[in-house]
Every structure is written in C-alpha cells, then in structure tokens.
Amino acid sequence: MIVRTDDLHKTFGRREALRGLSISVEDGSAYALIGPNGAGKTTALRVLMNILKPERGSATVIGIDSRRLSAREFAQIGYVSENQELPPRLTVRQYLEYLRPFYATWDRQLEQSVLGELRLPPDLRIGELSHGMRMKAALACALPFRPKLLLLDEPFSGLDALVREEFMERLLKQAGEMAIVISSHELTEIEHVATHVGFIDQGRLLFQDSMTELTGRVREVRVTLEGAVIAPAPVPDGWMQLAVAGNVVSFVDTRFSNERLSQSVTKHFKGVRNVDVRPVALRSIFTTLARATRDGER
C-alpha cells in the first residue's frame, strides 16, 4: 500500500476532525475520499503530508511514517490544494524554474506539454491569475517531476465546467503512472478517474470499496406482483429503502447478484409478475449507503 492510515484521531479544541480514520490506497490506484464539507477530508490529507500531526493512530506514506517524511519522500509526492499558496509576484515560468532543481526526476518536455494542454500563460504573474488558473498552475507544478503519489485536496472547488474538464483531461493522461488520492464532495468529476472510493463523514470512514465492486453490487429493483404486496419482515439483508405502492415493491439491493436476488424474491413474494433490475447512479449509491451506515443498517 502506498498510503495507509490506522485509527487516526485529530482534534481542534473540542471538535473531533478525525475519529479513528483507517484507509488504504494501493499502488497505481486512484482513491477518491468523498464526503460533505467539514467531513475531515482536508485534515486527513494534511496529516498525510505531515502538515498536521495526529493525537492518536498512524499514517504511512510511500512506506514511511508521515511524521518522518523527509525531502527524499516529498520529492516523490505531488500536492494540490484549493487553499494552496503560490508566490504571487513570480510568473508561472519563474516559479517552475525555481522548483526544477528540487526534483531530480523533473521532465522539461512534460512541463511544456502540461503548460500547453492547460493553456497556462507562462509569463503572467501568479497573483494575476484567476482561481481556476491558479489551480491549473498548482497542477502544472505537481506533474512534471512524475510523482509516485499525487494528493489532490478539493481541486474542483470554485472551478467552472470548462476548467474542470481541462484539469481532468490533463490528470487522466498521467493517472496510470502514479497513485492518486483525491478529496472531493463533487461526484461527477471523480467517477471517471477513481478506481477506489471511501466515504468519510464527521471524521469517520463509513465505507470504502473498489468502484467496480461498488457499482456492481448495488441495483435498484422493482418487483411487480399479481396481487397486493405484503412487505417481508424482517427486511432481507442488503435490501434498503424498501417501499410498497399497490402491487409493486421497490428497494435498493446492496448485495446484488442475479442468483441471490432470484432466490430472495421467490422466497418472500408470491405471484411475481415481473422483476425489473436497473443500475444505480453513483450519487444515489453514496446517498443510500451513507444513510444506511449512519443509521446502523449496514
């Protein structure tokens, strides 16, 4: 694992920002840490970067305890944050020239490619850039040295649709070369790049899974019967948001397989006329599982 946290706790005064957070990120994967604003995502990434130290628990990054990261490890980690400060008086070109000597793996050809694809004006002062252009500049500083790990903290916040698309297009071109941890409350942008996902709320990890397994095991089901529906009691394991309307029962099956569903429907209902199974949008998956986890249903 290129990133692992175990039972991380971090407080600010009386507020618990992280409460036993444990995540694991595989080499070469793109891990999306999803959750509402204030969930603890930024705090988690700052612990990984040793910007903050946890009161309890541990975090390892590239095999090193995050509290012992040295210049050698930081030369293999890219970091882009919505609140990242860049020197306003320097031009983009001057700042890149300043950074190059710190990274033995800096690729000048890649640098030029990134600048061109992100449409960054190299001779414009950073302080004169819009918020979206500053985020592009931060990404342009993080990619040319080909990091083993790229941490992105709410990179899409405040960006318009076109800038988001250009940002993601550039990121996707290099995604397979490095592991990515991206924190966001935006689901639309990350679902095309993420291979794994974790949902965090109030400092706790509610669930984590691979995108393939997550989207493969959740289905929306509508069962139409010949007569009136008698809702099963107790509700079968894995069925959520069960609702009855006339002779139709609907639910979200979070442990879906064709064989398992067929057996369950046959067991719990008589006179089945039709079973309609549909994929569930990613946003609905998160909403369903997060609500169920909070309520102790899962």
Handedness of CA 61, 58, 212, 189 (dihedral sign): negative
Q: pLDDT tens digit string along 19-49?
A: 999 999 999 999 999 888 888 999 999 999 9
Q: At what angle do helices 108-117 and 161-174 cross, to 10 degrees?
A: 150
pLDDT score recorded for residue 298: 44
Query: In angstroms, what CA-CA distances link 38 with 21, 50, 84, 196, 245?
Result: 14, 20, 18, 21, 38
CB 138 within 8 A of CB 90: no
**What's phi and psi for 73, nearest 5 deg?**
-75, -40
Single out the residue of 195, 151, 187 nearest to residue 289, CA to CA. Answer: 187
Measured CA to CA, the distance from residue 125 to residue 143 in angstroms comes to: 20
Task: For residue 26, give the nearest of 212, 281, 153, 298 by alpha carbon.
Answer: 212
Strand partners, 205: 200
Give which of 218, 274, 263 is closest to 236, Cα–Cα.
263
Contact 113, 143 (CB under 8 A): no
Instruction: Return the pLDDT at 296.
Output: 59
pLDDT reported for residue 206:
86
Q: What are 87-128's pLDDT values in tens digits? A: 999 999 999 999 999 999 999 999 999 999 888 999 999 999
Residue 231's pLDDT is 85
Higher pLDDT among residues 197 and 282, named by residue: 197
Q: What phi and psi values does residue 192 have, to the nearest 5 degrees?
A: -85, -15
Domains and CATH numbers, the chain: 3-210 (3.40.50.300), 219-279 (no CATH)
Higher pLDDT, 55 or 231: 55
d(Cα 167, Cα 233) in Å, to the nearest integer? 49
